[in-house]
């Protein structure tokens, strides 16, 4: 293995590690930012709905505000403390947002919950918050959900772009490194060749 090849190999490996570190950090920060935005959005909307419900004389009979759903990817649902559907956003259609037993226990204790639900068709991020009646009892539960599919698609595109971009960068870096190392080692090669000629001629 020649010195030129070893230098090029080490340079390429070092660059690959740097690119991998950058890709992991960039992807992680982007994912956390996008998911945090979803959490903030559904939490904010759920709290708005809860405030509207709690201002009603009968919170369990209140209706969801139609303006609360910002896009086709955001869903809202209100159920009674016993699990009966009170109202839901039009884009839900016949579908109902899941209300796991652990989340139900939290809500009935007066606590809000944030969780992810995944099925064969979609992945939802859901914020579930209790609605209190004037006497302090839990009268209803409001759930606001947003599909994570668009974010997952964006992250998949970013991963593909990082992979392709890093591959192209490594190939170019390897070619450039080989050229640079060859030029840098040229004086040493000339010295080695001269030394060899002297040794073969046995004439110092």
Residue 11 reports pLDDT greater than 90: no
Residue 39 reports pLDDT greater than 70: yes
**H or E segment to which residue 139 belongs:** strand 138-147
Residue 57 reports pLDDT greater than 90: no
Question: HSE on the CB side for 99, CA within 13 Å?
Answer: 26
Check residue 124 and give its pLDDT: 92
Neighbours of 146 (CB within 10 A): 24
Check residue 95 and give its pLDDT: 86
End-to-end CA distance of the chain, in Å?
Answer: 30
In the block, which residue shows the tokens 């505000």? 65
**Phi, psi angle pair for 98, to nearest 5°:** -65, 145
Which positions ≥6 away from 145 have C-beta within 8 Å? Answer: 42, 74, 75, 76, 77, 97, 117, 124, 125, 126, 127
| Beta strands across the sheet bearing 74-80 | 85-88, 74-80, 138-147, 123-132, 113-118
As a whole number, mean pLDDT of residues 180-188 equals 57
74-83 residue pLDDT tens: 889 998 888 8
Residue pair 75/69 in contact (Cβ under 8 Å)? The answer is yes
Percent of the chain with pLDDT over 90: 33
Cα 180 to Cα 3, 4, 28: the distances in Å are 13, 9, 34
Residue 28 reports pLDDT greater than 90: yes
Average pLDDT, the chain: 81
User: Which has more pLDDT, 137 or 9?
Assistant: 137
Torsion region of 133: left, alpha or beta (phi above 0 gives left; psi -120 to 50 gives alpha): beta
List the single range of 2-6, 26-30, 73-77 with lowest mean pLDDT.
2-6
Cα 202 to Cα 38, 64, 108, 123, 194: the distances in Å are 79, 99, 97, 79, 12
The three-class DSSP label of residue 95 is coil
């Amino acid at each position: 293995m020649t010195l030129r090849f070893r230098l090029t190999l080490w340079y390429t490996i070092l660059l690959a590690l740097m690119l991998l570190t950058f890709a992991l950090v960039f992807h992680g920060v982007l994912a956390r930012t996008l998911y945090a935005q979803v959490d903030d959005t559904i939490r904010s909307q759920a709290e708005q709905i809860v405030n509207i419900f709690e201002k009603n004389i009968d919170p369990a009979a209140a209706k969801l505000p139609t303006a609360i759903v910002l896009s086709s990817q955001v869903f809202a649902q209100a159920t009674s403390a016993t699990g009966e559907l009170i109202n839901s956003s039009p884009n839900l259609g016949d579908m109902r947002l899941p209300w796991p037993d652990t989340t139900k226990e939290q809500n009935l204790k007066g606590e809000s919950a944030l969780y992810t639900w995944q099925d064969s068709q979609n992945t939802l991020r859901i914020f579930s918050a209790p609605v209190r009646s004037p006497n302090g009892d839990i009268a209803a539960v409001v759930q606001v959900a947003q599909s994570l599919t668009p974010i997952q698609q964006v992250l998949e595109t970013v991963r593909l772009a990082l992979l392709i971009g890093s591959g192209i960068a490594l190939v170019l870096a390897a070619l450039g490194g080989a050229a640079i190392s060859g030029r840098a080692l040229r004086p040493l090669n000339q010295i080695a060749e001269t030394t060899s000629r002297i040794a073969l001629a046995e004439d110092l």
